[in-house]
Structure 1
């Protein structure tokens, strides 16, 4: 059931992105992470969305993303980035890096606990808030120039 839910969520996001034909830098990220619909993403929204993602992929509900669960998370995330966000290069590269197992597995044991994942939410937000204004919007995804 959970695998079906994951597939449905990814498919819905992909369909919405393709229908809009996003050209705005970071539009796919903002569309999916802007929980209150104001066109920008706050630190609180990133923490809430990361918590939802963790819950979605913790299939055995033990509070840890084990090897198989994180493998599914990696596969799903990378497919979404390729399909909707222009691939793993460019502006979405930092988002992909900050969701990666290596970034989130603070104790290096190969599994990611909810506490580890939650702890990295602040660092995740700081990495994507490139303008340093406390909110993530299209300006944070523009190429450095």
Structure 2
């Protein structure tokens, strides 16, 4: 659906303006499909499916080691952009396994690859972990220390 090069270009264009935004604003802008300023679980599931499709470069329905590494690199860059937007210094070593969706936790069947079902299916726990105020939606207010 999306090529990694296209995703990288879109991401880089969005990161350019990230420093002027509040923490989490870039996430909400990218994931809020209906533009109401809140990301619902359904919106998160849809966007995670899009991300999976973008990084499944060989189209085999699973993310292998290189595809997971590519996704991890994008995640680290997004975390750095969020820290920069908040005016916080970079923290080395925080991009890998933070949260309930680290690569090892996504591979539920232990086969060394993450299927689309495993990735999209983990959205509920991923979403709940990030919903700091428990209101059932993610907003920039849900971005804070220790979570991103």
State if a TM-score over 0.5 links the two structures: yes
Question: Which residue of the partner structure matches residue 44 of structure 2?
Answer: 46
Question: Which residue of the partner structure matches residue 117 of structure 1?
Answer: 119
Q: Given the alignment of the two structures, is residue 86 of structure 1 paired with residue 87 of structure 2, yes or no?
A: no
Question: Which residue of the partner structure matches residue 127 of structure 1?
Answer: 129
TM-superposed CA distance for 1:102, in Å, is 2.0
State TM-score, norm by structure 2.
0.80
TM-superposed CA distance for 1:131, in Å, is 1.1
Which shows bigger deviation, 120-129 or 1-10? 1-10
TM-superposed CA distance for 1:96, in Å, is 5.5
TM-superposed CA distance for 1:50, in Å, is 0.3
Cα distance per residue 1:26-68 (max 9 Å; x no partner): 2222122112111111001100110000000000111100111
SS at match of 2:34: coil
Q: Which runs of 5+ in 2 are unaligned?
A: 85-89
TM-superposed CA distance for 1:9, in Å, is 2.2
Counterpart Cα distance in 2 of 1:4 and 1:27: 23
Counterpart Cα distance in 2 of 1:70 and 1:61: 14
Q: Given the alignment of the two structures, is residue 4 of structure 1 paired with residue 5 of structure 2, yes or no?
A: yes
TM-superposed CA distance for 1:14, in Å, is 1.0
Asked if the contact 2:130/2:138 (under 8 Å) is kept, the reply is yes
| Greater helix fraction, Structure 1 or Structure 2 | 1
Count of residue correspondences: 137
Go from structure 1 to structure 2 and tell me whether the alpha carbon gap of 1:143 and 1:65 turns closer, same or farther (over 3 Å shift): closer
Counterpart Cα distance in 2 of 1:3 and 1:53: 10
